[in-house]
């Protein structure tokens, strides 16, 4: 089994992936939607707000209104368009959020530490969390009946509420839970770059025990991908590949050696 | 098996229904979202547009942008909030659109006849349709695994595109396909009224062979409900009840005799 995570921009990269998925029956798809969510947030007069943790991880501040917009974008707009795109190419896709059937149960973050004006501040009451439990039975039921699960956030809190969660880390939780051999994180970069401006500075291989060095190299969203990779490997996934989505056959290329291989 | 259709306004009426569903394992839920969709359409500067057919049925003009807003509202916002509401009361809800797993396959309307300035006009290229085939196996798989399906539009066109469809008629198709005994259409009226301004003018019973008279009495959205009832009965459903959602125990009351019973 392979878990493939893609961004949410329904464009060329997605149709390349969809082509590349033809005939595969061993895939679970997880997708994001951050850029589209930012656009809708602006349109609705509720500009996105982000905080950066002391360790350099960026996360979206998620209040009730943000959750509404998140549900609309991830689950309504991106998920259904992706499912449509797959289905129109004869793949039996079925979309789910972490809420549906209790697919992804998580823990709410009590407090988020972030840096502002050089000082550490605390954000409370944010609707953000991490996955603690995956309903593997539901996935097995669907896979066993021939469906391709297309999964996105929000995830479900203990109290039944919805939580925002990082989609790369969600994909890692799912990969670990279903004992996937591989987690493929497709992105708009060729992989982990030593210098983000220089595609030739690609780190082709990272060993599990040197992942902290990779984390130090990573910048911006790439940090979350390295964290996701770490969590996936810790959970028993054999190999994590971070690779370019903006190419033909992005999945095949990743499996054949392109991108950053972490194991 | 009972199919219950509710509107999309996530308010008091929904929580009354959710309470009333406690302990039931024989239910499939279908929901609308028209009012919320109108609000979002206005917010996004794309005011809703409706046309009225020569026979008096009103439908939403659905272009590509409208489909986007439809996906966001029905599938993203309303469906997920309803699933959350059910799950937080210990019901194992799982949300699906007609696209997911090919649950509801439909036929695109080639042309919609409508009245404007007293003349009949034709609207072409609209993304609207009616359900032709229900993936009953998927519903059985989910019900058999203990999930409560919460279903909404869009439905899937032959060409893989998404289609708008009337949610009452969608519920009727599902009820017929799963051979439901009852289809309950919960609404903001006590049932079919001879005079829409007078709640005491309730028509308590309509016989299958006099449904045309009921159609002549019905106004506005109620016309679609009568049409849905007709289609459900034609499809083998034993009884259709149109009843008030804005009350405690709306489902129990309907089953015990309130509202308009059509059989």
Q: What is the pLDDT of residues B121-158, one digit of tens each?
A: 999 999 999 999 999 999 999 999 999 999 999 999 99
DSSP H helices, chain B, are: 12-21, 34-43, 64-70, 79-87, 136-144, 167-177, 211-217, 221-234, 250-256
Partnered with residue A260 across adjacent β-strands are A242
Q: Read off the pLDDT of each residue in A77-98 and give the average, rounded to a whole number.
A: 95
pTM of the prediction? 0.96
Percent of chain A with pLDDT over 90: 91
Mean pLDDT over each residue of chain A, to the nearest integer: 95
Q: Which of A126, A114, A5 is nearest to A66 (CA)?
A: A126
Could you give the number of structural domains in chain B?
Answer: 1
Q: Read off the pLDDT of each residue in A155-171 and give the average, rounded to a whole number.
A: 95
Residue B111 located in a structural domain: yes
Q: pLDDT at position B51, please?
A: 95
A100·B99 Cβ contact <8 A:
no
Find the CB nearest A76 among B77, B94, B147. B77
A102·B96 Cβ contact <8 A:
no
pLDDT digits (tens, 9 = 90+) for B209-234: 999 999 999 998 899 999 999 999 99
Q: Which domain holds residue B113?
A: 32-166
- pLDDT band for position A141 (cuts 50, 70, 90): very high
**List of residues 6+ apart from A149 with CB closer than 8 A:** A28, A29, A93, A94, A96, A139, A142, A143
Going B68 to B70 to B72 to B75, the CA torsion angle's sign is negative
**ipTM given for this complex:** 0.95
Residue B249 located in a structural domain: no
Residue B207 located in a structural domain: no
- CATH number of the domain residue A27 falls in: 3.40.1160.10
Measured CB to CB, residues of chain A less than 8 Å from chain B are 40, 43-44, 68, 71-77, 79-81, 83-84, 87-89, 92-97, 99-102, 137-138, 141, 145, 147, 154, 156, 159-162
Interaxial angle between packed helices B167-177 and B221-234, expressed in degrees from 0 to 180 and rounded to the nearest 10 = 10
Q: Which of A26, A29, A24 is nearest to A1 (CA)?
A: A26
B87·A72 Cβ contact <8 A:
no
Find the CB nearest A156 among B87, B89, B141. B87
């Amino acid at each position: 089994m392979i878990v493939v995570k893609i961004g949410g921009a329904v464009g060329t990269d997605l149709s390349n992936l969809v082509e590349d998925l033809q005939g595969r029956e061993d895939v679970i798809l997880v997708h994001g939607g951050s850029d589209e969510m930012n656009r809708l947030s602006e349109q609705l007069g509720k500009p996105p707000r982000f905080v950066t943790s002391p360790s350099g991880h960026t996360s979206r501040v998620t209040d009730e209104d943000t959750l509404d917009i998140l549900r609309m974008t991830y689950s309504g707009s991106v998920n259904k368009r992706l499912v449509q795109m797959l289905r129109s190419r004869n793949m039996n896709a079925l979309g789910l959020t972490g809420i549906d059937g209790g697919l992804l149960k998580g823990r709410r973050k009590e407090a988020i530490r972030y840096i502002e004006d050089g000082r550490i501040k605390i954000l409370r009451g944010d609707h953000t969390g991490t996955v603690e439990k995956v309903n593997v039975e539901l996935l097995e039921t669907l896979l066993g009946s021939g469906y391709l699960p297309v999964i996105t956030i929000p995830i479900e809190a203990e109290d039944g509420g919805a939580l925002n969660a990082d989609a790369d880390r969600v994909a890692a939780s799912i990969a670990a839970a279903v004992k996937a051999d591989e987690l493929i994180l497709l992105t708009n970069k060729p992989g982990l770059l030593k210098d983000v401006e220089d595609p030739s500075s690609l780190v082709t291989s990272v060993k599990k025990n040197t992942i902290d060095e990779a984390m130090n190299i990573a910048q911006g969203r790439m940090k979350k991908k390295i964290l996701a990779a770490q969590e996936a490997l810790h959970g028993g996934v054999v190999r994590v590949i971070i690779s370019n989505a903006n190419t033909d056959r992005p999945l095949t290329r990743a499996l054949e050696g392109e991108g950053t291989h972490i194991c």
